[in-house]
């Protein structure tokens, strides 16, 4: 036993030395590109107390504590900010959640490594790949406002974030707003128009940070985007910060980690996790509703350590609570669908959904949807078909579900793979190309996803159909039909799409 662990330590330190060499000799990571829309993006990590409840009584074998206890809500908010266009890469925060060891240990546990020194190797690997990457954006920037009086301290903010002191004082505010064309409202049209919301839910083994370019870009087009950091045991690791200062770690959970009477099946576990996610989505929407009402008696307290909150007061009366769209990737898309079960209603005033690669093994998909829906699948996801919970091929199940919504689009971006909507293809492009065999450039794939998502969100706002939303069906049966009936259409950045379902009219 001792010999074995000695070997592992040796193996571990050799890998570390090797990795240091690799990392120092080759530029293996690329910086994240700037967002695609006209607005500068503000970012906030927010954790708030919610009404404490147990989603399921199962406990953890490791600690004996309840496994599915909802205590706080953690989200990352990306929002359009009142700041003028910044000349250089703006001040931002690290892409990897801190501490890195939390996520490193989390991923190690996720792939079954229980041995601490080996967990450190995983942490090192993550650190090596991710520590130089920063998320573009300005932490705690003032939210986009239609009224220049609301941003009288703009000059101060601009100085604070170190933009070279080019924009100073109140006199320049008009100039600043004109620079960004905010006074004319390029996207937000009417002076009274409020920011629509997007609530995003991540995939299995994902984190709320993993989609920063996709989500930040949507925000840069004039949307308030909240990425939920799920505490359902599907991510690598997360820390719950209680109001009394306590910290609780939530690691990735497998069936064997849980104690329950009667025991949970793997399908039960998914149901419990999806219920947990649904509760977090609901809490996100009610948090926004509170921020929109703005209360000085019960201000929102940010429990996330070292994370500011001063921009939150600017959210008052700025959010359009009747324009809430849910979006998700993979397991998250399945979760977003579940959240639509009884929507729209008072607690879930949802107007539509965006789903990226809806889960193949995350439980049956809710098909009772009466809201506009956009499903975008990666080429890899569409090509590889599986029998889906006795309902037929996954492709057909998704197709029927979309056709049955009041208004729905279902399309496939050719040459892309399951992780194409995450930041991974931007940060480690060649690793992703090798691992996923994509033929479409990673940046192009993301721009296609972003533009089509923004077109759909604009459709929800004003009924206009732009870009791919105007196309006819080109490939009704996708991978299940004849090869010659799989037509393609060109996307806004030259990529090829197959269109499977469009709204009937």
Ligand X SMILES: *[C@@H]1O[C@H](CO)[C@@H](O)[C@H](O)[C@H]1NC(C)=O
Q: Which is nearer to ligand X, 292 or 475 (CB)?
A: 292
Shortest distance in whole angstroms from residue 200 CB to ligand X: 18
Catalytic annotation on 418?
Answer: yes
The C-alpha atoms of residue 285 and residue 136 are separated, in whole angstroms, by: 25
Q: Which is nearer to ligand X, 323 or 355 (CB)?
A: 323
Residues 6+ apart with CB under 8 A from 161: 83, 90, 91, 138, 141
> How large is the angle between the packed helices 442-462 and 212-219, nearest 10 degrees?
40
- Would you count residue 192 as binding ligand X (CB under 6 A)? yes
The C-alpha atoms of residue 157 and residue 106 are separated, in whole angstroms, by: 36
Chain-centre distance for alpha carbon 30 = 20
DSSP string, 58-76: EEETTT-SEEEEEEEEEEE
Can you read off the two tokens belonging to residue 494? 């030259």
Shortest distance in whole angstroms from residue 470 CB to ligand X: 20
Nearest alpha carbon to residue 62 among 344, 191, 331, 254: 254
Shortest distance in whole angstroms from residue 167 CB to ligand X: 28
Active-site residue (options: 120, 330, 362, 416):
330
Q: Which is nearer to ligand X, 401 or 446 (CB)?
A: 401
Are 488 and 478 contacting, i.e. CB atoms less than 8 angstroms apart? Answer: no
DSSP string, 23-52: HHHS----PPPPPSSSS-EEEEEEEEEEEE
Q: Which is nearer to ligand X, 94 or 349 (CB)?
A: 349
Strand partners of residue 69: 54
Q: Which is nearer to ligand X, 193 or 268 (CB)?
A: 193
Binding track, positions 366-405, relative to ligand X; x by CB under 6 A: -x--------------------------------xx--x-
Nearest alpha carbon to residue 201 among 223, 235, 227, 231: 227
Are 84 and 165 contacting, i.e. CB atoms less than 8 angstroms apart? Answer: no
Can you read off the two tokens belonging to residue 485? 């009936």
- Would you count residue 101 as binding ligand X (CB under 6 A)? no
Q: Which is nearer to ligand X, 160 or 368 (CB)?
A: 368
Shortest distance in whole angstroms from residue 144 CB to ligand X: 13
Which residue, chain included where needed, has tokens 């920011």? Answer: 195
Q: Which is nearer to ligand X, 32 or 355 (CB)?
A: 355
* Of positions 59, 217, 320, 416, contacts ligand X by CB under 6 A: 320
Catalytic annotation on 357?
Answer: yes
User: Strand 258-259 relative to strand 319-329: parallel, antiparallel, unpaired?
Assistant: unpaired
* Of positions 49, 150, 156, 193, contacts ligand X by CB under 6 A: 193
* Of positions 132, 194, 248, 443, contacts ligand X by CB under 6 A: 194
Q: Which is nearer to ligand X, 84 or 372 (CB)?
A: 372
- Would you count residue 461 as binding ligand X (CB under 6 A)? yes
- Would you count residue 289 as binding ligand X (CB under 6 A)? no
- Would you count residue 322 as binding ligand X (CB under 6 A)? yes
| DSSP, res 255 | G
**Burial readout 7-30 (b: 16 or more C-beta within 10 A, e: otherwise):** eeeeebeeebeebeeebeeeeebb
* Distances, alpha carbon 123 to alpha carbons 11, 232, 250, 392, in Å: 15, 22, 17, 41
* Of positions 177, 224, 323, 432, contacts ligand X by CB under 6 A: 323
Q: Which stretch binds ligand X (CB under 6 A): 67-75, 110-118, 278-286, 320-328?
A: 320-328
Q: Which stretch binds ligand X (CB under 6 A): 236-244, 316-324, 373-381, 451-459?
A: 316-324
Are 273 and 361 contacting, i.e. CB atoms less than 8 angstroms apart? Answer: no
Shortest distance in whole angstroms from residue 322 CB to ligand X: 5
Of residues 401-430, those binding ligand X (CB under 6 A): 401, 404
Number of residues that bind ligand X (CB under 6 A): 12
Shortest distance in whole angstroms from residue 46 CB to ligand X: 23
Nearest alpha carbon to residue 441 among 384, 367, 493: 493
Active-site residue (options: 81, 418, 453, 475):
418
Active site positions, annotated: 330, 357, 418
Which residues contact ligand X (rule: CB under 6 A)? Answer: 192-194, 320, 322-323, 367, 400-401, 404, 460-461
């Amino acid at each position: 036993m001792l010999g074995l662990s000695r070997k592992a330590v040796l193996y571990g330190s050799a890998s570390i030395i090797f990795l240091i060499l690799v990392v120092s000799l080759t530029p293996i990571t690329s910086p994240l590109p700037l967002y695609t829309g006209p607005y500068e993006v503000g970012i906030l990590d927010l954790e708030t107390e919610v009404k404490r409840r147990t989603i399921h009584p199962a406990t953890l074998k490791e600690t004996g504590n309840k496994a599915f206890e909802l205590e706080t809500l953690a989200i990352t908010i990306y929002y359009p900010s009142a700041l003028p266009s910044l000349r250089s890469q703006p001040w931002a925060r690290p892409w990897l959640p801190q501490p890195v060891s939390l996520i490193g240990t989390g991923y190690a546990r996720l792939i079954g490594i229980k041995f601490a020194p080996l967990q450190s190797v995983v942490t090192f690997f993550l650190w090596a790949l991710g520590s130089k990457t920063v998320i573009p954006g300005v932490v705690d920037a003032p939210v986009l406002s239609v009224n220049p009086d609301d941003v009288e301290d703009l000059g101060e903010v601009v100085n604070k974030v170190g933009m070279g002191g080019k924009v100073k004082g109140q006199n320049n505010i008009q100039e600043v707003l004109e620079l960004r064309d905010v006074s004319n409202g390029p996207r937000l049209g009417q002076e009274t128009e409020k920011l629509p919301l997007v609530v995003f839910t991540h995939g299995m083994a994902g984190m709320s940070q993993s989609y920063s370019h996709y989500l930040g870009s949507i925000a840069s087009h004039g949307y308030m985007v909240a990425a939920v950091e799920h505490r359902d045991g599907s991510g690598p690791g997360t820390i719950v910060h209680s109001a009394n200062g306590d910290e609780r770690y939530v690691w990735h959970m497998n069936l064997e980690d849980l104690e329950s009477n009667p025991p949970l099946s793997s399908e039960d576990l998914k149901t419990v996790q999806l219920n947990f996610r649904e509760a977090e989505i609901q809490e996100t929407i009610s948090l926004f509703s509170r921020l929109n009402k703005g209360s000085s008696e019960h201000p929102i307290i940010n429990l996330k350590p070292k994370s500011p909150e001063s921009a939150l007061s600017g959210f008052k009366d700025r959010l359009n609570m009747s324009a809430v769209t849910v979006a998700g990737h993979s397991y998250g898309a399945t979760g977003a669908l579940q959240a639509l079960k009884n929507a729209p209603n008072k607690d879930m005033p949802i107007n539509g959904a965006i789903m990226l690669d809806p889960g193949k093994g995350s439980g049956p998909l809710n098909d009772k949807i009466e809201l506009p829906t956009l499903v975008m699948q990666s080429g890899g996801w569409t090509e590889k078909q599986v029998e889906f919970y006795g309902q037929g091929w996954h492709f057909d199940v998704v197709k029927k579900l979309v056709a049955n919504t009041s208004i729905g689009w279902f399309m496939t971006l050719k040459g892309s793979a399951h992780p194409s909507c995450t930041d991974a293809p931007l940060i480690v492009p060649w690793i992703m190309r090798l691992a996923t065999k994509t033929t479409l450039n990673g940046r192009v794939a993301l721009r296609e996803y972003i533009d089509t998502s923004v077109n759909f969100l604009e459709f929800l706002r004003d009924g206009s159909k732009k870009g791919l939303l105007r196309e006819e069906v080109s490939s009704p049966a996708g991978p299940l039909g004849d090869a010659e009936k799989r037509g393609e259409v060109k996307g806004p950045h030259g990529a090829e799409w197959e269109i499977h379902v469009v709204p009937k009219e």
